[in-house]
Amino acid sequence: MIMSEYAIEVENLCVSYKSLKSYSIKKHLLLGKKSKAEVCQAVQNVSFKVKKGEILGIVGKNGSGKSTMLRAIAGIFAPNSGTVDLHGHSISLLAIGVGFKTELSGRDNIILSAMLLGFTKEQIAEKMEQIIEFSELGAYIDAPVRTYSSGMHSKLAFSITAVLETDIILIDEVLSVGDAHFKKKSYKKMKELITDKDRTVVIVSHDRKTIADLCDKVLWIHEGKLVRFGPTDEVLDAYEEFMK
């Protein structure tokens, strides 16, 4: 069997969801009026390919569909139409508020997250202390995740992905969260991870330096549609000119 040179192939991806318009609770309860559901086209016919070992940056203003697309690639959201082909590669998503059971401890969430990524109990046990040490959570590792700050949450999420090292890593703004020391540490670790020519990374970030320093190519989406896809400097310059 011939292996594909691509780690990710997205073709005509469409993701939509329904949102309820604001309505009067009184009218709804007393008069039985039904609320209308608006369909939001979050991602519209987006196609692109990422070669094995490439680092792709995704830019766009808030609400443009970046996070929705990452979740579709990760398999969290089902596309309404179109396809996502990962060619059998293992994948992990780094994003605040995704993937953790808040009533469980940090330690239990490490085990659960690793099992969902396909790691065995033996592999998890072998990596457990390394993950905890990298997270710098100390005794809080055995506290419920619902008690964590956003910074602690991001430390745990990043540590799991950084130590377990899947074939494809999707990062949704997590590098910009946390204290200055951990930002520097996680940025250094991410640079180490992506030097592996077999690892593919997709980064969503509003920080130009992060995208410019780490990414081979950039995809710019606006209101769910692909605007431009190509070399980092070219797309970043065009995007920043548009944002002015």
**Do the bridges between strand 37-51 and strand 168-172 make them parallel or antiparallel, or are there none, so unpaired?**
unpaired
- Select from 201, 172, 4, 170 the least CA-distant residue to 85: 4
Cβ(15)–Cβ(43) under 8 Å? yes
Q: What is the pLDDT along the chain (244 residues), one digit of tens a residue?
A: 446 799 999 999 999 987 655 445 555 566 655 556 677 889 999 999 999 999 999 999 999 999 999 999 999 899 999 999 999 999 988 876 566 899 999 999 999 999 988 899 999 999 999 999 999 999 999 999 999 988 888 889 889 988 988 899 998 876 665 678 888 888 788 788 877 788 999 999 888 988 998 899 999 999 999 999 999 999 999 999 999 8
How far apart are the C-alpha atoms of 92 and 94, rounded to whole Å? Answer: 7
For residue 244, the model assigns a pLDDT of 85
Residue-range domain boundaries for the chain: 54-80+89-243
At residue 221's C-alpha, the angle toward residues 56 and 96, to 5°, is 65
For residue 1, the model assigns a pLDDT of 42
- Looking at domain 54-80+89-243, its CATH architecture is 3-Layer(aba) Sandwich (3.40)
- Select from 79, 7, 55, 69 the least CA-distant residue to 225: 69
- Count Cβ neighbours within 10 Å for each residue of 4-33 and write b for 16 or more, e otherwise: bebbbebeebbbeeeeeeeeeeeeeeeeee
Record the tokens describing residue 113, joined without a space: 């997250």
